[in-house]
Structure 1
């Protein structure tokens, strides 16, 4: 819908602020306990299990992502740590209250490894994804939804009717998860595309190339976050 950012991928697009990224990740991680454990709607064992699963999956996702970075690039990064944690959180969300034991660790680790590999697809297929939503959230969500079909445990939650493949439940739940994931993807894509089209026709989704080069902080709000130096039109700041 938006197209590529001006200069991508020729020019490096560095994170705005790594300290703020890590701070935001910590806040997000803490908040994730609320809606995963809170989804139990009671202060009970399922809520406690969901909270623990959330923590373990995020930690494992971080480790998985950093391991791939270490092997591929020779150095782990703080941005990778934040991205891996979010990948683990995304993946555990569909199954936080339905798995136990080592399952959340395996789910989170798988998400960390596969999501860091998935973000490389944007360079292969030439699509610009500035926040790696496809690589982290789409891929991470699908991983979590499908792995529930392998790890669902009725001992953790009595609502589990068909246990996962690894617990002797066969492939029935895995098939249901696949169909549900495909339906959710199709619904979300079609509805999001329609909404974006309407917004684009009414007010426009993309700024001009000049505003993009100038920076949206200045072109849209006439101010910048930092004033350690000035270039171009930023000299006009009062």
Structure 2
């Protein structure tokens, strides 16, 4: 994710540096969801938000005029001008996205809601909403190498 905003502004060595730094920072960010207890099963915040911000801000440091974008970052003697532009752009997009996401969240909460009932959660959302299961891992459902594994036993009947 982090190289996407920077691909036309950095050298191959800069791309490697961005990948290494972003990999470490994104892994740490993904780990924070467990510490703070928020639900991000696809790691969208840790990978896409943090990775995008890291890549966008690192353009201000690693951009080189030898790349198609033709600007120099701090490391190549371009000063802090490009870094400032990258920071303003990144945080403008971040705040715009937060505002739109908040508005959409309010609309969803007021209309269809975010959660299904606890009975639907227990029986499985695929069955409750689509009247079928996406993955039949039991004996009759095939399942390739997982045939016969079955579903995990339920540990309690209430969903908290």
Question: Normalised by the shorter chain, which TM-score bucket?
Answer: 0.7 to 0.9
Partner of 1:197: 106
Q: In the aligned structure 2, how far is the partner of 1:167 from the partner of 1:212?
A: 54
TM-aligned CA deviation for residue 148 of structure 1? 0.5
| 1:95 partner SS | coil
TM-aligned CA deviation for residue 226 of structure 1? 1.2
Whether 1:133 and 2:49 are equivalent positions in the alignment is no
Whether 1:188 and 2:135 are equivalent positions in the alignment is no
4+ long deviations beyond 3 Å: 229-232
Residues 118-148 of structure 1: CA deviation (Å, up to 9, x unaligned)? 1111122221111111111111001100100
Please report the TM-score for the alignment, with normalisation by the length of structure 2: 0.81
Flag the structure with higher helix content. Answer: 1
Give unpaired runs (5+ residues) of structure 1: 1-89, 233-238
Instruction: Name which of 72, 85, 97 aligns with 1:176.
Output: 85
Whether 1:160 and 2:70 are equivalent positions in the alignment is yes
Give unpaired runs (5+ residues) of structure 2: 139-149, 155-160
Root-mean-square deviation over aligned CA pairs: 1.7
Q: In the aligned structure 2, how far is the partner of 1:106 from the partner of 1:201?
A: 45
Q: In the aligned structure 1, how far is the partner of 2:59 from the partner of 2:123?
A: 46
Pairs aligned (count):
141
Q: In the aligned structure 1, how far is the partner of 2:115 from the partner of 2:98?
A: 19
